[in-house]
Amino acid sequence: MNAKRRATIDDVAQLAGVSIKTVSRVTNREPNVRESTREKVQAAITKLNYRPNISARSLASLRSHFIVLVYDDPSPYDNPSGGYILRLQQGALRACSANNYELLIHPGRARKRDLALELKSLIERARPEGIILAAPLSNIPKVVDAISSTGTPLVQLSPGKDSANRYSISTNDREISAEMTRYLASLGHQRIAFITGHRSHKAVGNRFLGYKDGLRQSGLKFFERLVRDGDNSIASGEAAAAELLDRKSRPTAIFAANDDMAAGVIRIAASKDIDVPGQLSVAGCDDISIARHIFPALTTIRQPLATMTERAACVLIEDAGNGSALHGSEVFPASLQIRESTGPAPD
Amino acid sequence: MNAKRRATIDDVAQLAGVSIKTVSRVTNREPNVRESTREKVQAAITKLNYRPNISARSLASLRSHFIVLVYDDPSPYDNPSGGYILRLQQGALRACSANNYELLIHPGRARKRDLALELKSLIERARPEGIILAAPLSNIPKVVDAISSTGTPLVQLSPGKDSANRYSISTNDREISAEMTRYLASLGHQRIAFITGHRSHKAVGNRFLGYKDGLRQSGLKFFERLVRDGDNSIASGEAAAAELLDRKSRPTAIFAANDDMAAGVIRIAASKDIDVPGQLSVAGCDDISIARHIFPALTTIRQPLATMTERAACVLIEDAGNGSALHGSEVFPASLQIRESTGPAPD
DNA sequence: GTGAAAGCGCTAACAC
DNA sequence: GTGTTAGCGCTTTCAC
């Protein structure tokens, strides 16, 4: 319990010899306050260690000074991609703390039927000023519509395809995947296999298109049999690798649509005594934290996740209160991270 | 923007034909409401899709219905232990969502000088109902004191040592580390090395004590030269391993005080062509997500992190509003996760 | 059991 | 430039 009652706006006003409205103007950095008055008020604020009460402010202004980051809730045990979520959080946090906002996190299970309702309830109770919806949730129409219907400003991350009346922030999945493919081809690889991601994740689907682009651009033919379906899990990467590597004319490079699957490939290669990158090059996508720490370190595609959420949060914060529907789209380029798991084709 | 104004307590009261106080009683599950009245109100709530406004409630009651989880902010790039933080979050989130609370996350850098002030400011502005402070921040007196001084209920996670007038939730670091050491000894290992963790992290220090206990219990002698100092980072694990493994009578087992350092050991072993676990057993501690996914999968100690934060959140939520200072301590037992990186001693 | 009235601490609209 | 007056939507106290 607080021994001494916390200072309120009235205390500050009294000490500074002004009205509470003036104090409010100062704390909100509104114009039209004489510099000398502002200083007087500032001094009182400092002296009393005054901080505006967030609830009162939010109640009076309908601005809550917090935003929500919603992402697919992986079981941390099944899925090592913690770094992915942490990077999402990190960017949003950066923007929030720079603007005196708070971040609420809300992992939601894509599979759960009532995620849309759950989010509506959260919005109605807590009135966040905006929502950042990360992929793959950002391409579930039901969820997107539920949020939109409340009128809460929304920024979608990597929704897979843009929608005219929405705001989205994405990365150049297709282009960068083509680049990775060309890179592998430039190392002399002819049989480059691809493991696709989960179908519901559109952005991951774009990586497959990029792979095909890259083959074409490198003058390589596309073969269905060099493609295996995965579902973004390590296990599916292992399964796909087991199939691909059991053939007699096996691929010399495997490009997986995410890092977890690539890690699965590397595990299988190790268990089959196939040297990576000597006999097999492996590339992933996402640059999740394990990528650097498995052996050999994984060549992958690095998405600027934190930058993307930071930008998303800034968009929401800047827009806050003006109530206009957000629309637009931004693309932040990803980059190749060449590490140890890729090398010249054998022979 | 909301097309239709959201239902308020007045709307519900009017529709149900009762006073707002009665509605309030129903939403807060207070006693002394006739069953038939309660039902009438419930019906109105459902019909209007009414949700109490969290800010208004918090302003009036001084209860904000959210808690804050504070943890050391690792750079996600340097440090793969994302799973650790995710598990912390997961438990707290579970408790929150079961009780209609929200979780605010606040990563803070231990090194940052003004972390204490930063937390005070957050507390004063937002008035969370409680704070969960994770290790290693939980053993920085300045931070702990800053939070306590605001009167906000606090639960410390693994503070290293208990304090009479605080509430802490820990795991049995020392005992379980002794158990791991005995397990290694039981495999025939005689030269079991230990890599210590960062000094500031007291709970990690307890693991070193446990290692010594385990040696004694197994009838093995303790040798200073089998101990190397690490700082919890992968790089420090690599450095320690490089030294330990360059000797002619090298250890046959290395037990690292956390998984990151153990991962570093495995990388160095791989680069030196030392077979794990054939020639060298490696054990870690924490069961961070990479543990399972490096090759070979890491034998480690699993702390029930999510359970611990879940319990912490429950303690805070149960206590909420009653203002009594929390004190007490609970211990949740960790368990050995035997995987592939440990095996019988060579020869 | 239920209700009326008085705030919680702030911002908004408008007066001066 | 600055102050005054109403609320925001809820809980609390205390009356009935």
Please say if the pLDDT value at position A3 is more than 50: no
The predicted pLDDT at position A124 comes to 79
Using one digit for the tens of pLDDT, what is the confidence trace for B101-149? 889 999 888 777 788 888 888 887 778 889 999 988 898 888 999 888 8
| Chain A neighbors of B87, CB-CB under 8 A | 76
Q: CATH no. for residue A190? A: 3.40.50.2300
- Element spanning A69, H or E: strand A66-72
**Does residue B256 belong to any structural domain of this protein?**
yes
Confidence label for B50 from pLDDT (cuts 50, 70 and 90): confident
Gap between the Cα atoms of B209 and B93, Å rounded? 33
Do B193 and B267 fall within a single domain? yes
| Chain B neighbors of A94, CB-CB under 8 A | none
Helix, strand and coil content of chain B, in percent to the nearest 5, comes to 45, 15, 40
| A57 closest-nt by C1' vs CA | C10
Which residue in chain A has the smallest CA separation from B238? A293
**Does residue B329 belong to any structural domain of this protein?**
yes
Using one digit for the tens of pLDDT, what is the confidence trace for A265-283? 998 998 899 999 999 999 9
Nucleotides of D under 7 A from a protein CB: 1-5, 7-13
> Which residue reads 């040798």 in tokens?
B223
Burial of A268 (0-12, 13-18, 19+ CB in 10 A): buried
Do A120 and A235 fall within a single domain? no
Helix, strand and coil content of chain A, in percent to the nearest 5, comes to 45, 15, 40
Of all residues in chain B, the percent with pLDDT exceeding 70 is 93
Asked whether A194 and A226 are in contact (CB, 8 A), the reply is yes
Q: What is the pairing mode between strands A300-302 and A335-337? A: antiparallel
Lowest mean pLDDT among A60-74, A232-246, B313-327: B313-327
The predicted pLDDT at position A1 comes to 33
Q: What is the mean pLDDT of chain B?
A: 87
Do A277 and A216 fall within a single domain? yes
Lowest mean pLDDT among A221-230, B155-164, B302-311: B155-164
Q: CATH no. for residue A25? A: 1.10.260.40
**Does residue A266 belong to any structural domain of this protein?**
yes
Say which of A55, A80, A87 has its CB closest to residue B55: A55
Say which of B2, B80, B126 has its CB closest to residue A290: B80
Confidence label for A36 from pLDDT (cuts 50, 70 and 90): confident
Gap between the Cα atoms of B25 and B22, Å rounded? 5
The predicted pLDDT at position B290 comes to 67
Shortest CA gap B40–chain A (Å): 21
Total count of residues recorded for chain A: 347
Q: Which residue is nearest to nucleotide D6 (CA to C1')?
A: A60
Angle between the N-to-C axes of helices A9-16 and A35-48, in degrees from 0 to 180, rounded to the nearest 10? 120
The predicted pLDDT at position B98 comes to 85
Using one digit for the tens of pLDDT, what is the confidence trace for A156-205? 999 877 777 889 999 999 999 999 999 999 999 999 999 998 877 777 78
In the DSSP assignment, the letter for residue B296 is S
Lowest mean pLDDT among A73-82, A102-111, B150-159, B213-222: A73-82
Do A154 and A214 fall within a single domain? no
> Which residue reads 């750079």 in tokens?
B75
B85/A83 CB distance under 8 A = no
Residues ≥6 apart with Cβ < 8 Å to A108: A70, A71, A72, A73, A115, A118, A119, A137, A143
The predicted pLDDT at position B91 comes to 93
**Does residue A347 belong to any structural domain of this protein?**
no
B179 φ/ψ angles, rounded to the nearest 5 degrees: -65, -40
Is B40 within 7 A of strand D by CB distance?
Answer: no
Number of H helices, E strands in chain B: 13, 12
Q: Which residue is nearest to nucleotide D5 (CA to C1')?
A: A21
Q: Compute and round to an integer the Cα radius of gyration of chain B.
A: 25
Using one digit for the tens of pLDDT, what is the confidence trace for B291-331? 766 778 899 999 999 999 999 999 998 877 665 678 889 99
The predicted pLDDT at position A81 comes to 54
Asked whether B293 and B36 are in contact (CB, 8 A), the reply is no
**Does residue B58 belong to any structural domain of this protein?**
no
- Stretch A283-308: mean pLDDT, rounded? 84
Long-range pairs, A14-18, Cβ under 8 A, ≥24: A15/A44, A15/A47, A15/A48, A16/A40, A16/A41, A16/A43, A16/A44
Gap between the Cα atoms of A191 and A221, Å rounded? 9
Tokens representing A345 are: 């084709």
| Chain A neighbors of B85, CB-CB under 8 A | 82, 86
Say which of A84, A85, A293 has its CB closest to residue B263: A293
- Stretch A338-345: mean pLDDT, rounded? 95
The predicted pLDDT at position B2 comes to 36
For B174, the 3-state DSSP assignment is helix
Residue B192 β-bridge partners: B253
Domain assignment of residue A280, given as a range: 173-303
Distance of C1' in D5 from CA in A56, Å: 18
Do B34 and B93 fall within a single domain? no
Do A311 and A279 fall within a single domain? no
Distance of C1' in D15 from CA in B21, Å: 14
The rounded Cα B93 to chain-centroid distance in angstroms is 12
Confidence label for A8 from pLDDT (cuts 50, 70 and 90): confident
- Stretch A210-236: mean pLDDT, rounded? 94
| B33 closest-nt by C1' vs CA | C1
B77/A289 CB distance under 8 A = yes
Gap between the Cα atoms of A25 and A9, Å rounded? 11
Do B40 and B149 fall within a single domain? no
**Does residue B1 belong to any structural domain of this protein?**
no
Query: Which residue, B47, B45, B6, is CA-closest to B24?
Result: B45
Q: What is the mean pLDDT of chain A?
A: 87
Is A60 within 7 A of strand D by CB distance?
Answer: yes
**Does residue B4 belong to any structural domain of this protein?**
no
Gap between the Cα atoms of A326 and B284, Å rounded? 48
Do A311 and A165 fall within a single domain? yes
Using one digit for the tens of pLDDT, what is the confidence trace for B80-102? 555 778 889 999 999 988 887 88
Please say if the pLDDT value at position B33 is more than 50: yes
Do B159 and B224 fall within a single domain? no
Residues ≥6 apart with Cβ < 8 Å to B30: B24
Lowest mean pLDDT among A74-88, A303-317, B258-272, B293-307: A74-88
The rounded Cα B43 to chain-centroid distance in angstroms is 41
- Stretch A279-302: mean pLDDT, rounded? 84
Domain count, chain B: 3
- Stretch A55-75: mean pLDDT, rounded? 83
Please say if the pLDDT value at position A76 is more than 50: no
Distance of C1' in D3 from CA in A29, Å: 18
User: Which of the residue ranges A121-125, A295-299, B34-38, B240-244 has the most confident prediction, judged by mean pLDDT?
Assistant: B240-244
The predicted pLDDT at position A278 comes to 94
The predicted pLDDT at position A110 comes to 74
**Does residue A236 belong to any structural domain of this protein?**
yes
The predicted pLDDT at position A99 comes to 83
Using one digit for the tens of pLDDT, what is the confidence trace for A103-146? 999 988 877 778 888 888 888 777 888 999 998 889 888 899 98
Is A32 within 7 A of strand D by CB distance?
Answer: yes
Lowest mean pLDDT among A46-55, A246-255, B3-12, B245-254: B3-12
Higher-confidence residue of A76 and A259: namely A259
- Residue type at position A136: P
Do B265 and B315 fall within a single domain? no
Please say if the pLDDT value at position A261 is more than 60: yes
The predicted pLDDT at position B1 comes to 33
Tokens representing A207 are: 């990586």
Q: Which residue is nearest to nucleotide C5 (CA to C1')?
A: B21
Do A167 and A308 fall within a single domain? yes
Do B121 and B99 fall within a single domain? yes
